[in-house]
Structures are given as C-alpha cells and as structure tokens.
C-alpha cells in the first residue's frame, strides 16, 4: 500500500513582524516581504501595526496598505485609538485585533481566526498591565480569549507589554497551549527566542520595523533634546537606517493548536531588499 504522504500535516511557517513604525517601517515591510515570503516559505504573516501611522496609532488607510502588502492579521497595543477614524474600522474589519483585555465598550475585538488553503491561524492580542492601561489583567482574560480561537490549527498570542516579567510569565503560562507567544511594544529585539519545554515558541520582544537610526522610531536629536532639557518638543519619526525585525515560527504538526518546532529572529536592513524590489518599493 502506498504511504499516504500527502495527507501528513506539513510544517507551517508563520512570520510575525514587530511594531511597524511610520512610513519608514511601512516601506521596509513592502520592500522585504515578497522576498521573505519566498525565502522562508511563509504561510501566514502577522504584524503589529500600532505605530504604522506617523509613529503613533493606525488609520484605515494604513491598515489597508499593510493588508495589501501581504499582512494577513494586524495586532495593536496601547496606541490603538489614537486616530478616531479607525474606531469603526476596528469593529468592521475582522483581521485587525486590539488587546482582548481592553474594555468591552471600547471599539474592536481581541481575537480572530484567519484561514488560508484549509488551514487556520488564531490570533490573540493582549496588553500587559504594568505601566499600561488595560481594563483587566492579561492573565485572567487570556483563557476566555483562547476559547474564542479554539479549534484553530495554530494559535499565536501577541503580548504587548512594557515589563519583561509579564511577557516571560505569559510565555510560561501558555507553554504547551499555543503555538507561539511573542512580545511587542518596547521596539528593541531581545535575544531569548526559543521553544519552551512544552512546545510553545517564545520571545520577549520581537523589536520594531522602522528606523534604527532613531530612538525607538523617533528622530534621535529630538528625543535627546527632550531628555537633556526636560522640555516638551515635537516628535517626528526617523527615516534613518530602517530595518525589518520579525520572527519566523515553524510548527511541529501533530497537535491542535500546533506546537512549535522552531522560532528564529529575522533582522534585516531595508537595504538588503533585492535591487529590483528595493528600488521600486523603498522610495
Ligand atoms: Fe509600538
Ligand atoms: Fe506599544
């Protein structure tokens, strides 16, 4: 009898892109994603978009731009409601999520399930509670949120938090229950990507997709001036030395939701885009 090789579940590759900051971040994503899709054999792309519009928040136009660039699901964070025009969009568009532990009365939803070619990816967005404004503790909300994506083939949790301790704890809390827990918000990538013993891929912070020549996305001379003078100043987004910062998670087939076989950082300068796509898309 022929082995039914075709029916074996295959490895799935999920790219998670750290906070996309302003036009430099959007341009970098557009320049690099087509090449990464081919190079890494990507099945799903999730990106944090909370800084996509001018460095703070997101608008429907910029969310549509990210979807058109190949992002399947957008996650958000503490800057979710900065632009009023996105409020109704968050209710209407199923594949943009804001932290599940915001208030029920706030626009949007905290989970979604995206499907492609018969496979499904559940995405849960959470906000940390230390130094962040969230209605309920992430740890008491996450079980309900996971019930909303129950049955998905893969589940990814974006834990948007300031404190490393909260993110590490969430990784351990969900180890063995989801495919991946990825941290966002600090814009600085951490060196602790690993698959935890229970099989959940984990990283404390993925980093940002934006200008590395600034201070977490802001023009560095402005940021330094504010820190030196303690006086308010206008902040503009930096354009200098843009990078894409992401992780690629590969699933280990055999359970639902899948557990992870690997998680690897993907840290690339915009200048590494192939000449053709770089020249055409980074202007
Ligand atoms: Fe951010
Ligand atoms: Fe944030």
Indicate the pairing of strand 180-184 with strand 201-203.
parallel
The ligand whose atoms approach the alpha carbon of 134 most closely is 2
Q: 128: CA distance to ligand 2 center in Å? A: 10
What is the pLDDT at residue 79?
Answer: 98
Per-residue pLDDT for the chain (283 aa), expressed as one digit of tens each? 444 444 456 899 999 999 999 999 999 999 999 999 999 999 999 999 999 999 999 999 999 999 999 999 999 999 999 999 999 999 999 999 999 999 999 999 999 999 999 999 999 999 999 999 999 999 999 999 999 999 999 999 999 999 999 999 999 999 999 999 999 999 999 999 999 999 999 999 999 999 999 999 999 999 999 999 999 999 999 999 999 999 999 998 889 999 999 999 999 999 999 754 444 333 2
Task: Please list, residue by residue across 232-258, b when 16 or more beta carbons sit within 10 angstroms of its beta carbon and e when fewer do.
Answer: eeebebbeeebbbbbbbbbbbeeeebb
Q: 80: CA distance to ligand 1 center in Å? A: 10
CB-count exposure of residue 262 (10 Å: 0-12, 13-18, 19+): middle
The ligand whose atoms approach the alpha carbon of 160 most closely is 2
Q: 187: CA distance to ligand 1 center in Å? A: 6
Q: 51: CA distance to ligand 1 center in Å? A: 5
Q: Which residues surround ligand 1, an ion (CB under 5 A)?
A: 19, 50-51
Count Cα neighbours of 159 within 13 Å in the Cβ-side half-sphere: 32
What is the pLDDT at residue 275?
Answer: 52
Does this model's pTM top 0.85? My answer is yes
Alpha helical stretches, state H, the chain: 22-40, 60-68, 86-92, 138-148, 164-174, 220-229, 275-281
Q: How many helices (H) and strands (E) does the chain have?
A: 7, 14
Cα 242 from chain centroid (whole Å): 17
Active-site residue numbers? 79
Per the document, the length of the chain is 283
The ligand whose atoms approach the alpha carbon of 80 most closely is 2
Q: 186: CA distance to ligand 2 center in Å? A: 7
CA dihedral 89→21→131→198, nearest 10 degrees, is 90
């Amino acid at each position: 009898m022929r082995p039914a090789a075709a029916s074996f579940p295959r490895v799935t590759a999920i790219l998670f892109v750290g906070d996309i900051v302003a036009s430099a971040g959007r341009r970098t994503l557009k320049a690099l994603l087509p090449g990464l899709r081919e190079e890494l054999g990507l099945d799903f792309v999730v990106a944090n978009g909370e800084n996509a519009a001018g460095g703070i928040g997101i608008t429907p136009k910029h969310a549509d731009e990210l979807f058109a660039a190949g992002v399947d699901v957008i996650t958000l964070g503490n800057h979710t409601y900065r632009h009023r025009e996105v409020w109704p969009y968050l209710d209407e568009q199923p594949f943009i999520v804001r932290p599940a532990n915001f208030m029920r009365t706030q626009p949007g939803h905290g989970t979604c399930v995206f499907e492609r070619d018969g496979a499904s990816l559940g995405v849960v967005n959470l906000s940390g509670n230390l130094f962040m404004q969230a209605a309920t503790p992430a740890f008491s909300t996450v079980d309900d949120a996971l019930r909303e994506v129950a049955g998905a083939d893969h589940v990814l949790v974006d834990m948007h938090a300031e404190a490393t301790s909260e993110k590490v704890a969430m990784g351990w809390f969900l180890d063995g229950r989801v495919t991946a827990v990825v941290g966002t918000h600090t814009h600085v990538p951490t060196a602790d990507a690993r698959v935890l013993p229970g099989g959940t891929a984990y990283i404390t912070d993925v980093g940002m997709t934006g200008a590395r020549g600034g201070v977490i996305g802001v023009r560095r001379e402005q940021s330094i001036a504010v820190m030196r003078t303690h006086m308010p100043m206008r902040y503009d987004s930096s354009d200098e030395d843009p990078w894409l910062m992401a992780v690629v998670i590969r699933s280990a087939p055999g359970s639902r939701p899948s557990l992870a076989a690997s998680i690897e950082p993907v840290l690339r300068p915009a200048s590494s885009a192939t000449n053709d796509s770089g020249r055409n898309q980074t202007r």
